[in-house]
Amino acid sequence: MEFRHEVISFPKQLPIKFFLHRIGYVNRHWHQSLELIINIKGNVHITVSNLSYELGPGDIILINSNEVHELHADNATMIALQIKLELLKESTMDIQRMYYDCNSARSGDSERFKNIKRIVAQILKYNINSNEYIDLKNISLVYELIYELCSNFSSDKEEGLSYSQDNLDRLSRILDYVNSKYNDRISLQNVAKAEYLSVPYLSKYFKTSMGISFSDYLKDIRLHHAVNDLTNESLTIDKVAVQNGFPNVRSFVVAFTDKYGEVPSVWRKKHAGEILGSIEATKEKSVNYYQDEPLSYYEDISAFIESNLESAPVNLPQRVGSSRTSLIEVPVSNCLMALHHHFKNFIGVSRAKEVLLADVQQALRIAQEEIGFKYIKMHSLLDDDMMVYSEDAEGKAIYNFHFIDMVFDFLLSIRLKPLVQFSFMPKLLASNLEKTVFYNQINTSPPKSIDKWNQLIRALTLHLIQRYGLGEVKTWLFCVWNEPSSSNLLFGFSNDDIFNKLYLNTYETVKNIDPSIPFGGPAAFSTYNKNEDWLFRFLAFSRAAGCTPDFITIHYYDIDLWDYNGQDNQLNLSPVSHSFTEFIDRLKQRLEESKFDSLPVYLTEWNSTVSHKDLMSDTCFKSAYIIKNLTENYDRLDAFGYWLLTDLHEENLLPQQLFHGGLGLFTYNNIKKPSYHAFFLLNKLGDELIARGDGYFITKSRTGFQILLHNYHHYDEVYAQGVSISISYHERYSHFPIKSRKEFNFELSPVNGNYDFVQHIVNQQFGSAFDNENSFGTAAGHSVEEINYLRSISVPKLSKKCVTASGSLPIQVILEPFEICLIELIERSE
């Protein structure tokens, strides 16, 4: 699979595109642009015009216009520049017609290629942390690169094959035909007839042009598509063979084994953990749910730059600009809306068993004492490590709710009510023992006996009522399963009817005990660029079946799938800063149109990413992200359950690095991150909104006024595409446009009297544990003393002064990039 990212946006007048590749196999193709490839990691087998070469690290090759080429590698990283010389209208030479002999794999003179590598290294260096004048530098470097190619690599003799335009047009038609009909029973005879050629002539022409026989090319195309289909376990091997044009499963297995060295079933099992299920209802698409962190090219790029420039690269100094608001008049008598602070309705812990861990309990205690959430979302209540379900020798069910009691006893002791999510499947009830996810091998298959499942749900619900009382249990929330909208490779099932049956049975089992117990819909997974079709299909089913949920739950992440060659195979971050608002707009409109807008909507998981390895999650970017999105959408939903409370969870192996990009508000040893401080400041807001705007949210209470400010910056498009060319453990603020300070000028009126002016600030100097750790110079192996020190110093800055107002109160504040600030004006009693 090739991952290809255009990482530098050159000015439109420049005839160049700059890509970073990670490749596995790229089929034969050609283009009119020159393509300069520098291999920086791994080994690449490349065929150009039927001549093959092995590129090692540091090798360079230029592919001339219209040269047919293909690439193979297990996992190589390359820099690629595509140059359209026809756009150089200013050139006095006809450089379009030149042939360039630039191939270090067949040249013994490595010195000859140093200048090209130096120029490319400079392009990278100057575009990492670039300033507003970068276009000028890029223009000079691109022209220097073209000069170097023309001066030292132009050749009168063309190696390999050259093609006339008529030949290229014919070849293009043939390949288009094959690529569009590969899954049909096409043959050389079909193509020869379409091109009005004899079969022998076409066979020779194709082999000469492509360097491969027609039958082998067709087989390669079919195998390329079949590999993608194998990642979808809902498709049998037979179906994969048939839908990709193989005449029978035996021919598919033989061809696959010849190419990949193992039979398809073995390959599928080996790679199942790498590509794990769609985030939408489409069962035919898959995405790597676990390893979705941006592809980090930092080490590869740094090594390339350092080895090809005279000295190690030094990031260009970044100018921090400044923006200023005009005077904002704030009439304090205004009341734009009453605030209910729905952001506090949910917090999340990954698995129920984790609630019994001492550090998780301590994090929950801190959060409840300082913020005070109402409900907690967790899954895996029925997993085997909770020891809920077993059977005797005759297959009779044995229930054990001891660990569930321990979890709920603790939660109620700290004033947290559970969302009782019936998930996942005990092994003895599972219909498919192989359908597991996460490090702990959680089983996500449907029950093999719906009657035994119903009996378990009934027994557990009655137990909870007996232990805690019906009055208490009716204040909790109940639902079944987690993200059934995902594919069969993750939490979902092979078709929606299976889940609908599970939902209907679970709903009726609970409601038959007491119809007033709140039972909600399952959490559907939504992203910035996907609609909520699965959710509304489920709601339509529930209405028709008479099991409409009492509330709706949904998950939202600012991510989406990137489409490459028709396959959704990589997670991207949202390229726009307002996607969260667009999601809520879209959801509320569809709820109104479908007459479900009277139901409460609980967002029980929400974050900018699903990755537990996105290094920005530990930074002040995340605290500004939280403040921006919650204040812009305050109380629009009935809950905003930020995911996750702590980095201490068991979905994956716990990284050794303290700040590894986990989703938690706390590190795994309970150091507060900037994201935690964002909720701490939100919790100080009053109950009436009196003003809001770009970067500010002003409330009032019985004791005074609260002004919450943020200076949010959105990451660049390169990082959004899943590529990191400059981020590293210690440098995490590089993938942003030009950052600027933000100045606010307010005038509150009418205001009279004396006030305590209390200011809380979270930025890279105050309240950012990661930035504090950065000063230690190490990322692992901290002593207990260092951990306690980090914990003690990673708090918001607090300052206090007295101000006097006579009719109005002017306030001026300047925020650094990513800074959040809360100003409390507390009226002083005489």
| Backbone torsions φ then ψ of 220, nearest 5 degrees | -65, -40
Residue 160 banded pLDDT, cuts 50, 70, 90: very low
Q: How far apart are CA 428 and CA 397, in angstroms?
A: 10
Q: Say yes or no to pLDDT of 624 above 50.
A: yes
Query: What are the residues whose beta carbons fall under 8 Å from the beta carbon of 28, sequence distance 6 or more?
Result: 47, 68, 69, 70, 210, 211, 212, 217
- Homologous superfamily in CATH for domain 374-519: Glycosidases (3.20.20.80)
Catalytic pick from 35, 70, 483, 651? 483
610 pLDDT exceeds 80? yes
User: Nearest CA to 496 among 458, 520, 477, 524?
Assistant: 524
Lowest mean pLDDT among 74-83, 203-212, 323-332, 555-564: 555-564
In contact, 47 and 212? CB cutoff 8 Å: no
Taking residues 447-470, what's their average pLDDT? Answer: 98
d(CA 196, CA 210): 19
CA 819 vs CA 31, 340, 606, 724, 747: distances in Å = 47, 25, 21, 23, 21
Q: Check pLDDT > 60 for residue 282.
A: no
- Residues 707, 494: Cα–Cα separation, whole Å: 50
Q: Three-class SS of residue 760?
A: strand
Give 406: exposed, middle or buried? Use CB within 10 Å, 0-12, 13-18, 19+.
middle
Phi-psi region of 600 (alpha: psi -120 to 50; beta: other; left: phi over 0): beta
**Type and span of the H or E element at 709:** strand 704-710
**Whether residue 283 has pLDDT greater than 90:** no
Token representation of residue 72: 């193979």
Structure tokens given for 440: 């702990």
Please write the tens of the pLDDT for every residue from 467-525: 999 999 999 999 999 999 988 878 999 899 999 999 999 999 999 999 999 999 999 98
User: Could you give the CA distance from residue 813 to residue 830 in angstroms, rounded to a whole number?
Assistant: 28
Planar angle of CA 556, 559, 562, nearest 5 degrees: 140
Name the band, by pLDDT with cuts 50, 70 and 90, for residue 88. Answer: low
Q: Is 393 helix (H, G, I), strand (E, B) or coil?
A: coil
Compute and round to an integer the Cα radius of gyration of the chain: 30
In sign, the C-alpha dihedral spanning 222, 290, 346, 548 is: positive
- Decide if 70 contacts 45 (C-beta within 8 A): no
**Domain segments of the chain as ranges:** 3-155, 165-271, 374-519
Half-sphere exposure of 402 (CA within 13 A, CB side): 5
759-783 mean pLDDT: 89
What is the enclosing helix (H) or strand (E) of 170?
helix 165-181
State the Cα–Cα distance between residues 355 and 349, nearest whole angstrom: 7
> 618 or 163: whose pLDDT is higher?
618
pLDDT-wise least confident of 169-178, 349-358, 614-623 = 169-178
Q: Which of 605, 651, 773, 819 is catalytic?
A: 605
**797-817 pLDDT tens trace:** 999 999 999 999 999 999 999
- Whether 569 and 562 have beta carbons less than 8 Å apart is answered as yes
Q: Kindly tell me the sign of the dihedral angle through the C-alpha atoms of 505, 507, 511, 513.
A: positive
CA 614-618-621 angle, 5° bins: 90
**91: pLDDT confidence band, cut at 50, 70 and 90?**
low
- Give the helix ranges, DSSP H, for 514-664: 533-544, 579-593, 620-632
Residue 719's identity, in one-letter code, is Y
Provide the β-strand partners of residue 21: 4, 78
Q: Using an 8 Å Cβ cutoff, are 390 and 428 in contact?
A: yes
Q: Which long-range contacts (CB under 8 A, 24 or more apart) does 324-327 make?
A: 324/743, 324/745, 325/694, 325/695, 325/742, 325/743, 325/744, 325/745, 326/745, 327/745, 327/746, 327/747
CA 331 – CA 335 distance, rounded (Å): 9
Active site residue 819: no
Residue 181 CB contacts under 8 Å (≥ 6 apart), including other chains: none
Q: CB 248: neighbour CB atoms within 10 A?
A: 11
Q: What is the distance in angstroms between the CA of the first residue and the CA of the last residue of the chain?
A: 72
Is 377:348 a contact under the CB 8 Å cutoff?
A: yes
Residue of 493, 487, 644 whose CA lies nearest to 569: 487
Predicted confidence (pLDDT) at residue 830 exceeds the cutoff of 70: no
- Cβ atoms 357, 664 nearer than 8 A: no
CB 411 within 8 A of CB 455: no
pLDDT in tens, 571-586: 789 999 999 999 999 9
* H helices present in 559-710, as ranges: 579-593, 620-632, 674-682
Neighbouring-strand partners of residue 607: 557
Q: What average pLDDT does this structure show over 153-176?
A: 70
Spatial separation of the C-alpha atoms in residues 150 and 95, rounded to whole Å: 8
Tell me: cis bond preceding 750? Omega within 30 of 0 counts. yes
Mean pLDDT of the chain: 88
Is 483 considered catalytic here?
Answer: yes
**Axis crossing angle, helix 674-682 with helix 620-632, rounded to the nearest 10:** 30
CA distance 486 to 578: 25
Backbone angles phi, psi at 313, to 5 degrees: -70, 140
Q: For residue 285, what is the DSSP state?
A: -
C-alpha distances (whole Å) from 800 to each of 681, 682, 753, 826 are 16, 19, 17, 11
- The yes-or-no verdict on residue 459 having pLDDT over 70 is yes
The three-class DSSP label of residue 657 is: coil
Q: Are strands 295-296 and 723-724 parallel, antiparallel or unpaired?
A: parallel
Structure confidence at residue 289 (pLDDT): 46
Cα angle at 558 between 552 and 564, to 5 degrees?
115
Query: Can you point out the beta strands (E) in 763-819?
Result: 797-815
Could you give phi then psi for residue 662, rounded to 5 degrees?
Answer: -70, 160
Query: Exposure of 478 by Cβ count < 10 A (0-12 exposed, 13-18 middle, 19+ buried)?
Result: buried
With b meaning 16 or more CB within 10 Å and e meaning fewer, what string describes 207-217?
A: eebbbbebeeb
Rounded distance between C-alpha atoms, residue 779 and residue 776, angstroms:
8
Assigned fold of 165-271: Arc Repressor Mutant, subunit A (1.10.10)
Q: Which amino acid, residue 247?
A: P
The neighbouring-strand residues paired with 329 are 747
- Tens of pLDDT, residues 182-232: 888 888 898 888 888 898 998 888 888 777 888 888 888 888 888 878 877
Nearest 10 degrees: Cα torsion 106, 107, 111, 117: -30
556 — phi, psi (to 5°)? -140, 135
- Assess contact for 820 and 627: CB atoms under 8 A: yes
Distance of alpha carbon 38 from alpha carbon 30, whole angstroms: 18
In this prediction, residues 735-755 reach a mean pLDDT of 93
Cβ atoms < 10 Å from Cβ of 427: 14
SS3 content of the chain, % helix, strand, coil (to 5): 35, 25, 40
Q: Per-residue pLDDT for 72 more than 90?
A: no
Token digits of residue 674: 């900037």
Say if residues 797 and 760 touch (Cβ distance below 8 Å).
yes
Lowest mean pLDDT among 10-14, 343-347, 401-405, 433-437: 10-14
Residue 165: what pLDDT? 66
Q: What is the third-level CATH fold of 3-155?
A: Jelly Rolls (2.60.120)
Dihedral of CA 1/288/649/788: which sign? Answer: positive
Interhelix angle 358-370/674-682, rounded to 10 degrees, is 30
- pLDDT higher at 434 or 456: 456
